Amino acid sequence: MTFIYLVLAVVAEVVATSALKASDGFTRLWPSLLVVFGYGLAFYLLGLALRVLPVGVAYAIWAGLGIVLVTLVGMVVFGERPDLPGVLGLVLIVSGVVVLQVFSNMSVH
């Protein structure tokens, strides 16, 4: 269940961050409400995952995957296009998460 909580926390954070863009500076009601609800849910689920996972590993996965997924949402929904250094940075983030999960003793397997 721990990784399910973490994955759901990532999804909630991605939805909330995407709604933040759509809220237009909190001037639109429904996207603004989705921001508040989504971040609340994301932190709650992250807290459940932290019962088992080390904070550094959980946060690296949560933040890293969130960054990559928000970038993909930005590309698909908002028409944003990362440049080559941006793509390389995203690859490094994903690589770091993989290294933590596969090679680090910090991670709970």
User: What pLDDT, on a 0 to 100 scale, did the predictor assign at position 107?
Assistant: 59
Domain boundaries, the chain: 2-103
CB half-sphere exposure, 80, CA atoms < 13 A: 13
Question: What is the distance between the alpha carbons of residues 47 and 41, in angstroms, rounded to a whole number?
Answer: 10
pLDDT in tens, 2-35: 999 999 999 999 999 999 999 999 999 999 999 9
Taking every pair of C-alpha atoms in the chain, what is the biggest distance, in angstroms? 46
User: What pLDDT, on a 0 to 100 scale, did the predictor assign at position 49?
Assistant: 97
User: What pLDDT, on a 0 to 100 scale, did the predictor assign at position 79?
Assistant: 96
pLDDT in tens, 51-82: 999 998 898 889 999 999 999 999 999 999 99
Angle between helices 2-22 and 29-49 (to 10 degrees): 160
